[in-house]
Amino acid sequence: MRLRLRNVFLVYFVVSLVGLFCALRELGRPCPCPPPEPERRRGRSVGVSGGEGLPPIYVVTPTYARPVQKAELVRLSQTLLHVPALHWVVVEDAAAPSALVGGVLAASGVSFTHLSAETPPELRGGPGAPSWLFPRGAEQRNRALRWLRDTRRPDEPGVVYFADDDNTYSLRLFEEMRSTRGVSVWPVGLVGGLRLERPLVAGGRVVGFHTGWRPERPFPLDMAGFAVGLRLLLAHPRARFDPRAERGFLESSFLGGLVTPGQLEPRADNCTQVGVWGVLGAFGGLWGLVNPGQLEPRADNCTQVLVWHTRTEKPKLRQEEQLQRQGRGSDPDIEV
């Protein structure tokens, strides 16, 4: 009897020791409690008020009615939904904002402003005219500029980016542009007949551009390849997109009103100074005079492609037209 008791005690002792050992081992480890709220959720708090303390990004999207319009806007909205402190300014090429675009915006969960500006007929080109005869989206982007000038105070922080509805955007792009003070630049993939176009950077400065077409353009940049500081924009009330700009010169027509192309001397090492000029600019509109030609390279000195000039294939609707001629087309009451 005594012997058995001793055995029981021994077993108890060993089990306790093992238990204590295991407990001690667990001490240094992170507790297996539920993981904290994922980062992504914070990205959901959209709107200018979301992302406390961050300068808001104003994403300007010109759009026009076509079969893929809703699909493009839904896709873009679901990218923008992940970006904190973002306000989406959507401008339709139409006499008035449409119910379709309004519906997409209202359902998107993104903070938005819905505007319209119709391209005048003389700048539209006839139905047979090639699409590149006049630059697309100039009126609409100018309408967004007017909205920014009408509603923002000159000293408000912010970044303005022109995002067409058919490109593909990495979420990282928005964080890269967030710190824009003057004009920030980065590569664009699948554009201009090349795998990528990009500003060439040496020693942290833009020293040229890799482009296959009209490299003599003042700013050989795609619309998706730059962002502009809101204060810089507001300090230049006349800067706008020229709807009669030659093909490929629309970006230059706008950027030329903000910075001096001859002085492509972005000073990454002098970025600290830009903040001072920014304050000066806010008071005196002096920015462009004092510190022109700021191109701030982003995306690891313009070595990362974070936006792609993808184009959605135009859908073939021949069967639809055939059925419509027979009065049996798809239900026109169902929005596509």
**Which residue numbers are catalytic?**
251
Name the residue nearer to ligand NAG (CB basis): 30 or 203. Answer: 203
The answer to the question of whether 58 is labelled as a binding residue is: no
Rounded distance between C-alpha atoms, residue 128 and residue 269, angstroms: 50
Residue selected from 113, 168, 170, 270 as contacting ligand NAG according to rule CB under 6 A = 270
Q: Pick the piece of the chain touching ligand NAG (CB under 6 A) from 27-35, 110-118, 246-254, 265-273.
A: 265-273
Determine if 300 is a binding residue for ligand NAG (CB under 6 A).
yes
CA–CA gap between residue 233 and residue 240 (Å, rounded): 10
Position 269 contacts ligand NAG (CB under 6 A): yes
**CA nearest neighbour of 93 among 2, 160, 42, 165:** 165
* Residue 204 engages ligand NAG in binding (rule: CB under 6 A): yes
Task: List the alpha helices (DSSP H) in the chain.
Answer: 2-27, 39-44, 69-80, 99-108, 138-151, 171-177, 230-234, 250-255, 271-284, 287-290, 299-302, 318-325
Among the listed residues 145, 177, 185, the one whose alpha carbon sits nearest the alpha carbon of residue 158: 177
For residue 242, which amino acid is it?
A: D
Contact string (CB under 6 A) for ligand NAG, positions 144-183, x = contact:
----------------------------------------
203 near ligand NAG (CB under 6 A): yes
Question: Which one of the spans 142-150, 180-188, 245-253, 263-271 is the region binding ligand NAG (CB under 6 A)?
Answer: 263-271
141 in a known ligand binding site:
yes
Count of Cβ atoms closer than 10 Å to residue 336 Cβ: 12
Rounded to whole angstroms, the maximal C-alpha distance in the chain is 110
Bind-site residues for UDP-alpha-D-glucuronate: 62-64, 93, 136, 141, 164-166, 309-311
Which parts of this chain interact with ligand NAG (CB under 6 A)? Answer: 203-204, 267, 269-270, 300-301
